[in-house]
Copies of this chain bind each other. A is one copy, B any other.
Amino acid sequence: AEPENIENTVLLIGFGRFGQIVSQPVLARGYTLSIIDSNAEFIRDIGDFGFKVYYGDGVRPEILHAAGAATARAILICVDDKEAALKIAEIVKEEFPLVPVLARAYDRGHAIDLLKAGVDYQVRETYDSALNFGGEVLRTLGEADETALQMVEEFREIDRERFALEQVGGIYAGRSLIKGNAQPADIIAAKTARERERRAAAQDAAQGAAR
């Protein structure tokens, strides 16, 4: 079946754990969602929950066109495959440059790649749950709710700064903003061990060359 009445809808690509949650506040506010997913069996099962999902993998321009990408108010890339997400981002930014694109990112490196591909917004898929989990740990340890929320907010700021540094300088760039658990002695021991290995490797190479 081909999608009908697809003008002015929001196009959601990938309807797993992530896309399903994304859809709820959008549908609750009265927007029309055109949904595509590449798992045929899943599309059938999700019908029992009141969803109409079209089959397609989102990396083919003709599928995107058929699903209304050209006239969409926004395109939401919510697939769980890193490479596919990036490919879809590149295609939609090329084919539909005026449509805002929001994307689910796997990790920091993927987030940077998606921004380079031109997406207008990205969120790392486990970031917010992990951070709220960190706040809950503090509450469990006896900290006041206010303190837990403050530590979480402070970290959000630090992480934003770290991410900005990484976007320019790569994944080591924001390293000084990370709080480690290693003691100074651990760090020195690790460096010494690494230095020793490096010297041993260099010596082996030199002996190999001399033979």
A181 & B140 in contact (Cβ 8 Å cutoff):
no
Question: Which residues of B are found within 8 Å of A76, using beta-carbon distances?
Answer: 133, 137
In the complex, the chain B residue whose C-beta lies closest to that of A132 is: B128
Question: Which residues of B are found within 8 Å of A27, using beta-carbon distances?
Answer: 179-181
In whole angstroms, how far apart are the Cα atoms of A98 and B61 in the complex? 56
Question: Which residues of B are found within 8 Å of A78, using beta-carbon distances?
Answer: 130, 133
Closest chain-B Cβ to A118's Cβ sits at a distance in Å of 15
B23 & A102 in contact (Cβ 8 Å cutoff):
no
A129 & B125 in contact (Cβ 8 Å cutoff):
yes
A125 & B130 in contact (Cβ 8 Å cutoff):
yes
Question: Which residues of B are found within 8 Å of A33, using beta-carbon distances?
Answer: 181
In whole angstroms, how far apart are the Cα atoms of A123 and B21 in the complex? 14
A143: Cβ under 8 A from any B Cβ: yes
Question: Which residues of B are found within 8 Å of A17, using beta-carbon distances?
Answer: 106-107, 124, 126-127, 130
A166: Cβ under 8 A from any B Cβ: no
Question: Which residues of B are found within 8 Å of A126, using beta-carbon distances?
Answer: 17-18, 21, 125-126, 129
A74 & B140 in contact (Cβ 8 Å cutoff):
yes
Question: Which residues of B are found within 8 Å of A48, using beta-carbon distances?
Answer: 172, 175
A52: Cβ under 8 A from any B Cβ: yes
Question: Which residues of B are found within 8 Å of A74, using beta-carbon distances?
Answer: 137, 140-141
Chain B binder among A62-70, A88-96, A151-159, A199-207: A151-159
A151 & B29 in contact (Cβ 8 Å cutoff):
yes
A-B contact pairs, 12 of them (CB 8 A): A17-B106, A21-B159, A25-B151, A26-B138, A26-B141, A50-B175, A52-B183, A104-B130, A120-B140, A123-B132, A123-B136, A128-B129
Known: A18-B129, A50-B175. 11 other contacts (CB 8 A): A17-B107, A18-B133, A19-B130, A20-B130, A21-B131, A50-B178, A50-B179, A76-B133, A123-B132, A126-B129, A128-B129
